[in-house]
């Protein structure tokens, strides 16, 4: 296995749309960074703790489990997609949605060529079964880098139906060309500017009866409602979908509610994750608990 942490240097900046900034990262510190090749592969950007000024890193095992030698609260990191990976020399493009607040977003907006940031080894989630003939890809702006890379890698015979919600028409990006892909852009939708319509479109779009795959990325409560639909109405088996909460609206409010949550409930949640039971059933229970407490 390759190294877990790498120091990336900002090589260039490019404003893709009013709401999306691309940073290209590279430098000698990335020489050992490997790619999974998976379309939605992501990594974390780690920042110094605002109070201590120190960079605290977790211990991450090869199976992706994190432990926190310095205390969980000390670690400050945010998750981003590797939009493009180039080898020799290694460079990656990372596309940042510009939004209010946020350490990573503020860092990206201020970043100058030559600035550095610590990142970890990427991993991916998208896993379309080999027999799939179609895919439904639905996301907000945060999922656009992954959707674009997924589409780039999609074989010609697979039909892609895509819905992308963006803050305004100017935030549309040119997607990679694919002969069997159709996109519908939802303007002034979700993204913290308006209620999301992702749940509505997933509920309404007719799905072929042939084998397929659903990939969704967006705000966590939006994805939770889609998850209920996919699990309870469509009753798809887990290998037929990947539904990922990419960000949390009103993050400070969420953090405060989580901090105030009864330790017994947190222990119950942890026990679920460690139980070895069906991971999707455990996640259903986890989402139910969060929902119950307004999280």
Ligand X SMILES: Cc1cc2nc3c(=O)[nH]c(=O)nc-3n(C[C@H](O)[C@H](O)[C@H](O)COP(=O)(O)OP(=O)(O)OC[C@H]3O[C@@H](n4cnc5c(N)ncnc54)[C@H](O)[C@@H]3O)c2cc1C
CB of 254 to ligand X, least distance (A): 8
Residue 105 within binding range of ligand X, rule CB under 6 A:
yes
149: three-class secondary structure by DSSP:
helix
The edge-to-edge listing of strands for the beta sheet with 20-26 is: 76-81, 42-47, 116-120, 5-17, 20-26, 91-97, 84-86
What is the closest distance, in whole angstroms, from the C-beta atom of residue 107 to ligand X in the complex?
A: 8
Residue 49 near residue 68 (C-beta atoms within 8 A): no
Choices 25-33, 77-85, 223-231, 281-289 (CB under 6 A): range interacting with ligand X: 77-85
Residues 23-52 within binding reach of ligand X (CB under 6 A): 42
Q: Both tokens of residue 152? A: 């780039």
* Tokens 């080898």 sit on residue: 87
Which 191-230 residues touch ligand X, going by CB under 6 A? Answer: 191-192
97 touches ligand X (CB under 6 A): yes
- Among residues 125, 124, 126, the alpha carbon closest in space to that of 158 is found at 126
Instruction: Pick one of 101, 129, 203, 208: the residue that binds ligand X (CB under 6 A).
Output: 101
Query: Measured from the CB of residue 15, what is the shortest distance to ligand X in angstroms?
Result: 14
Q: Which stretch binds ligand X (CB under 6 A): 63-71, 168-176, 222-230, 244-252?
A: 244-252
Helix axes 279-292, 220-228, angle to 10 degrees: 120
Q: How far are the Cα atoms of 138, 215, 259, 285, 287 from residue 281, in angstroms, in the given order?
A: 23, 19, 25, 6, 10
Which of 248, 261, 284, 295 touches ligand X (CB under 6 A)? 248
Q: Does 126 bind ligand X (CB under 6 A)?
A: no
Q: Measured from the CB atom, is 85 or 247 closer to ligand X?
A: 247
Range in contact with ligand X (rule: CB under 6 A) among 85-93, 110-118, 228-236, 247-255: 247-255
Give the separation between CA 128 and CA 133, rounded to whole angstroms.
10
Residue closest to ligand X, measured at CB:
102
Cβ burial, residue 276 (10 Å; 0-12/13-18/19+):
exposed
Distance of CA 263 to the CA centre of its chain: 28
- Minimum CB separation of residue 22 from ligand X in Å reads 10
The stretch near ligand X (CB under 6 A) out of 65-73, 101-109, 277-285, 287-295 is: 101-109
Residues that bind ligand X (CB under 6 A): 42, 78-81, 95-97, 99, 101-105, 142, 145, 191-192, 244, 246-252
């Amino acid at each position: 296995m390759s190294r877990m942490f790498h120091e990336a240097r900002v090589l260039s900046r490019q404003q893709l749309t009013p709401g999306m900034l691309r940073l290209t990262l590279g430098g000698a510190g990335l020489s050992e960074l490997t790619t999974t090749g998976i379309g939605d592969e992501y990594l974390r950007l780690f920042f110094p703790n605002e109070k201590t000024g120190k960079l605290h890193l977790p211990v991450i095992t090869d199976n992706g489990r994190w432990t926190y030698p310095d205390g969980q609260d000390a670690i400050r990191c945010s998750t981003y997609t590797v939009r493009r990976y180039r080898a020799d020399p290694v460079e990656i493009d990372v596309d940042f949605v510009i939004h209010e607040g946020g350490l990573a977003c503020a860092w990206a907006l201020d970043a100058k060529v030559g600035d550095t940031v610590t990142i970890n080894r990427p991993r991916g989630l998208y896993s379309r079964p080999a027999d799939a003939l179609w895919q439904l890809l639905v996301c907000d702006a945060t999922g656009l880098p992954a959707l674009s890379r997924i589409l780039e890698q999609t074989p010609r015979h697979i039909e892609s139906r895509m819905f992308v919600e963006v803050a305004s028409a100017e935030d549309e990006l040119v997607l990679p060309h694919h002969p069997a892909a159709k996109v519908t852009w939802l303007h002034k939708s979700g993204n913290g500017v308006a209620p999301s319509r992702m749940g509505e479109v997933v509920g309404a779009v007719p799905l072929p009866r042939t084998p397929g795959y659903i990939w969704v990325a967006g705000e966590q409560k939006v994805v939770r409602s889609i998850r209920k639909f996919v699990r309870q109405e469509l009753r798809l088996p887990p290998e037929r979908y990947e539904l990922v909460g990419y960000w949390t609206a009103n993050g400070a409010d969420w953090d405060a509610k989580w901090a105030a949550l009864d330790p017994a409930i947190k222990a119950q949640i942890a026990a679920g994750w460690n139980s070895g039971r069906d991971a999707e059933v455990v996640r259903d229970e986890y989402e139910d608990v969060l929902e119950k407490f307004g999280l």
